[in-house]
């Protein structure tokens, strides 16, 4: 179990923190942060971060990275969120799609996509969820029919984030319908500017907007099939586990708890709800545990050990905790703080609207509990 960082890691963290404190970075981060249902374009901020070589530090140098460790990349992710950098473009483009390319991409695909991502010049979205399938990829209905040397993809994807700002999507589709629930599934890199692609906003309450992507016989070259045909599920299963470190949810919870404390300090002491201080103490303890667990998962992944149960526990607990903090802390700012739109009040109001989706993304809490329960069933059966 990991409880601290090495001297090398602490020096690297200090360097990253100092870079992110530069006035031009802080100004760009502020301009990229949504509020009151308005979602700004964060790409100028990410182009700046790309120039500073902070987007993909763990990628090989030949693909635009700095050849550092995965744990160093996690340190950068922590410091970016703490510096006010909205993280969705980074999570989707670098941590998910970029990771897929590193895992399963051809050499040509890696050289075509990764350097521009690392420079902050190209962005990606994740196209998994469908209207009738939800987060159950076994119910996938989007099809990819062979067409000469390529494919034609038809279907509808929903609840993708930042999609109107990105260049391509990682799309899961059936290449062999009827092969079985988790068989006959493939992954594609789809140009979202191609004919037949229609992107629309799904009305919601969050500052980040969900999108619907309709694909009408969209032509995808064979060179944009990611990994072997019909072998998408094993890749998805491995990558989803890597996505569930819990670190991103922990960082949201940390930021929202800090905002709650700021609102309390600036408010009237006699207005503090009964039992809230005790609850804050409990949250701090739970946050400390989440941080240790997230780094235990990250350290394992860096050593090529992916523990499906540990990732499920990390994702479940950190997302549930972040949601609980957001819901309870929304009542902390005083009416005056809300009226004056103080920084803490704006943060907590935004958190309250984001919170409902935290226990749904990257696998619902119910799915995480099923994964944990299945591991206990295996132990009980002697497997």
Residue 362: CB atoms within 10 Å: 23
- Give the β-pairing of 197-202 and 210-220: antiparallel
Closest CA to 197 of 165, 156, 145: 156
- Give the chain's mean pLDDT: 91
CA distance 34 to 206: 9
In this structure, the chain runs to a length of 383
pLDDT bin (cut points 50, 70, 90) of residue 284 is: very high
Task: Give yes or no for a contact between 188 and 171, defined as CB atoms under 8 angstroms apart.
Answer: yes
Torsion of CA 146, 151, 156, 161, to 10 degrees: 150
Domains located in the chain, CATH noted: 7-122 (1.10.540.10), 126-230 (2.40.110.10), 244-380 (1.20.140.10)
Largest Cα–Cα distance in the chain?
72
Beta strands in the chain (DSSP E): 124-127, 143-147, 150-161, 168-174, 185-191, 197-202, 210-220, 225-226
Task: Report the pLDDT value the prediction gives residue 230, as an integer from 0 to 100.
Answer: 95
Proportion of the chain in helix, strand, coil states, percent, rounded to 5: 55, 15, 30
Residue corresponding to tokens 């602490």: 10
CA distance 29 to 39: 13
CA distance 188 to 228: 10
Closest CA to 249 of 290, 306, 204, 308: 290
* Percentage with pLDDT > 70 across the chain: 95
pLDDT at 218 over 90: yes
For the stretch 360-372, pLDDT in tens is 888 889 989 998 9
Q: Model-level pTM?
A: 0.90
In this structure, what are the phi and psi dihedrals at residue 173, rounded to the nearest 5 degrees? -145, 155
Task: Report the pLDDT value the prediction gives residue 7, as an integer from 0 to 100.
Answer: 93
For the stretch 156-206, pLDDT in tens is 999 999 999 999 999 999 999 888 888 999 999 999 999 999 999 999 888
pLDDT bin (cut points 50, 70, 90) of residue 332 is: confident
Handedness of CA 133, 87, 11, 69 (dihedral sign): positive
Reduced to 3 states (helix: H, G, I; strand: E, B; else coil), residue 135 is coil
Reduced to 3 states (helix: H, G, I; strand: E, B; else coil), residue 231 is strand
Residue 96: CB atoms within 10 Å: 21
pLDDT at 310 over 60: yes
Residue corresponding to tokens 């987007």: 55
pLDDT bin (cut points 50, 70, 90) of residue 239 is: confident
Reading the block at residue 383, the tokens are 């497997």
Residues 6 or more apart in contact with residue 239 via CB below 8 angstroms: 96, 99, 100, 103
DSSP 305-329: ---HHHHHHHHHHHHHHHHHHHHHH
CA distance 54 to 196: 35
Reading the block at residue 182, the tokens are 């988790």
Report, in angstroms and rounded to the nearest whole number, the Rg of the chain calculated over CA atoms.
21
Residue 105: CB atoms within 10 Å: 21
Residue 114: CB atoms within 10 Å: 24
Residue corresponding to tokens 């509990």: 369
């Amino acid at each position: 179990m990991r409880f601290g960082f090495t001297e090398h890691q602490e020096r690297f963290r200090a360097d990253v923190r100092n870079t992110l404190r530069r006035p031009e970075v802080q100004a760009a981060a502020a301009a990229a942060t949504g509020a009151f249902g308005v979602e700004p374009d964060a790409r100028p901020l990410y182009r700046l971060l790309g120039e500073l070589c902070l987007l993909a530090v763990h990628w090989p140098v030949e693909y635009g990275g700095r050849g550092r460790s995965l744990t160093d990349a996690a340190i950068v992710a922590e410091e970016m969120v703490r510096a006010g950098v909205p993280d969705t473009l980074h999570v989707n483009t670098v941590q998910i799609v970029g990771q897929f390319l590193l895992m399963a991409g051809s050499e040509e695909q890696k050289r075509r996509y990764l350097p521009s991502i690392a420079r902050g010049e190209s962005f990606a979205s994740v196209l998994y969820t469908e209207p009738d399938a939800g987060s159950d990829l076994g119910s996938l209905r989007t099809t990819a029919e062979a067409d000469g040397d390529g494919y034609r993809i038809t279907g509808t994807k929903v609840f993708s984030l930042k999609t109107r700002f990105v260049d391509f999507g990682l799309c899961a589709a059936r290449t062999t319908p009827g092969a079985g629930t988790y068989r006959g599934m493939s992954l594609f890199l789809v140009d979202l500017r191609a004919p037949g692609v229609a992107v629309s906003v799904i009305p919601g309450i969050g500052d980040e907007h969900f999108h619907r992507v309709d694909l009408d016989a969209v032509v995808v070259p064979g060179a944009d099939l990611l990994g072997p045909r019909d072998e998408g599920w094993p890749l998805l299963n491995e990558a989803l586990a890597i996505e569930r470190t819990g670190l991103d949810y922990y960082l949201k919870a940390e930021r929202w708890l800090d905002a709650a404390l700021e609102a309390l300090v600036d408010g009237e002491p006699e207005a503090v709800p009964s039992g809230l201080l005790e609850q804050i103490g409990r949250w701090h303890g739970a946050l400390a545990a989440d941080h240790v667990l997230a780094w235990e998962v990250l350290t394992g992944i860096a050593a090529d050990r992916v523990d499906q149960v540990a990732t499920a526990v990390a994702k479940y607990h950190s997302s549930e905790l972040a949601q609980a903090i957001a819901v309870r802390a929304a009542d902390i700012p005083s009416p005056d703080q809300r009226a004056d739109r103080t920084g803490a009040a704006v943060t907590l109001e935004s958190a309250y609207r984001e919170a409902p989706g935290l226990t749904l993304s990257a696998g619902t809490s119910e799915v995480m509990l099923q994964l944990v329960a299945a591991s206990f069933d295996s132990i009980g059966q002697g497997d």
